[in-house]
Amino acid sequence: MIRTVRNLVRLLHIARILGKHDALSPVQDFDAPASVRWAAKVLSRRTGSSDKRPGQRIAAAFQELGPSFIKLGQALSVRADLVGEDVAIDLGALRDRLPAFPARDARGAVETALGAPIADLFSSFEDTPVAAASIAQVHFAVTDDGRDVAVKILRPGIEAAFKKDLDLFYWLARLAERFYPPLRRLKPVEVVEALAEWVALEMDLRMEAAAASELGENFSGDTEFHVPAVDWPRTAKRVLTVERITGTSIDDLDGLEAADIDRKATAAEVIQVFLKQALRDGFFHADMHHGNLFVEADGTLAAVDFGIMGRLDKATRRFMAEMLLAFLSGDYRRAAEVHFEAGYVPASKSVDAFAQACRSIGEPILGRAVNEISIGRLLAQLFQVTEDFSMETQTHLLLLQKTMVTAEGVARSLDPEINFWEVARPTIEEWMLDNLGPEARLRDAASQAAEIAQRLPALIDNAEKTMDRMLTSGVALHPDSLKRLGEERKRRNWPAASALWIIAILLAILLLKV
């Protein structure tokens, strides 16, 4: 009861802010219950903000509502199926820029987290932050051994603020699923769960440090992407210290030109680096917006802020690669089949009909520049198609979809004529060859055979012991049953022996290939 009252009071405050920005009017057009549409109409105010698009008004309201709603808006920016294509695009521009908290609080937080005075940790510490976001802010400093570093510090009280709002989000999501069944397919509770996990990781800066370290290792042999090194002795749950990146912000076009940076090459690099992270490594920076990317003097792309990362298992990467390659090749039948093989579309649906739907999405892509076709628009079309085919939202792909749209936006700002798909093709084809080609299949077969070879003797021994116990433990069996069990035992030993020979042959072939 107390929780319900608390959430209702908070909900009224939120409605007031949304009404102030005339951000409730889109609800009246949304397929929501009549009572919700009526309440939105009553609370809406017609102000100067009405000159803005609905998505811009919602973004402005979320900005005023604070960190939790900024993160919620960013999460909804990939849910065109839920909020509509135009609103999703406007929410995609939502950035978590907030006023800085006082320098004395920042210094106090560092000293408390690291257990030492600032003077013992750094030879200099800049009081004016270089960035202030919804969860943390960043200060430049110099270590006592002369290294330039960036120090990220969590906002005071941020955990309690998020806990309160996430409780509200869960409450609303469960109400929506209970009283408005059409929303169940969109899994609002799972979306909130994903947001909660995302925020929990962001609020433990040791996890961000670990993510930066892992991403750096993945690119240790690549010269086109630089991940700042972590200063572990000066890192704790609420403080993260990393190598300071020196370079030109990727959104400073004049600065890039002055530094003689090839913008077209950098645009292609953004896409290729993203695909290497997602496909090759299955671990990607999921917040690759302009504010987190820099270009160093030698043209190397560098990234900061590793609080939001995504992971893809091998099966999902295979789906992603096969689906993208099928679209790139115009093989819409194959594009449809991989959706069915992954279990994303119910088997009761028509593969041919889904292939036709894929064609309606893919045809506008081939041979056209990104300034003529938006990946965000294509994803919105895909959402609409999947709804028609009863495809449930794949929550583990939300960050991937968000990052793909963001990477496209960054690349397009550098080179308006770039074609995402043409730049992506070489990386996708290389991954497909390495992971799905003949040699990869042979490696997989050999690996599976080796695993079976290790387990088979134990399985055969267990089976023999079980059968011996059955024959001698006093279990009453008909003589004919005993005879058949004996015959079955002999019959099963033959394929077991054959399996061992097949395994040996596969291993021999692999050794010859090597």
Enumerate the active-site residues: 287
Exposed, middle or buried: residue 349 (CB in 10 Å: 0-12, 13-18, 19+)? middle
Query: 10 Å Cβ neighbour count for 165?
Result: 21
DSSP secondary structure letter of residue 31: S
Q: Tell which residue, 503, 490, 313, has the closest CA to residue 396.
A: 313
Q: Are 81 and 124 in contact (CB under 8 A)?
A: no
Q: Where are the alpha helices (DSSP H) in 93-181?
A: 103-114, 118-121, 158-179
| DSSP labels, 329-381 | HT-HHHHHHHHHHTTSS-TTS-HHHHHHHHHHHHTTTTT--TTTS-HHHHHHH
Q: Are 74 and 45 in contact (CB under 8 A)?
A: no
> 3-state DSSP call for residue 363?
coil
* Strand bridging mode 301-303 / 225-226: parallel
Q: Are 398 and 75 in contact (CB under 8 A)?
A: yes
Q: Are 209 and 230 in contact (CB under 8 A)?
A: yes
Residues in the chain: 514
Estimate the crossing angle of helix 67-76 against helix 158-179, to 10 degrees.
Answer: 50
> 3-state DSSP call for residue 454?
helix
Q: Are 161 and 168 in contact (CB under 8 A)?
A: no
Q: Is the dihedral of CA 482, 483, 488, 489 positive or negative?
A: positive
Q: Are 381 and 359 in contact (CB under 8 A)?
A: no
Q: Are 344 and 318 in contact (CB under 8 A)?
A: no
For residue 371, what are its two tokens?
């300034």
Q: Tell which residue, 148, 192, 204, 146, has the closest CA to residue 166.
A: 192
Residue type, 8: L
- Provide CB contacts within 8 A for 350, sequence distance 6+: none
Q: Tell which residue, 418, 131, 397, has the closest CA to residue 286.
A: 397
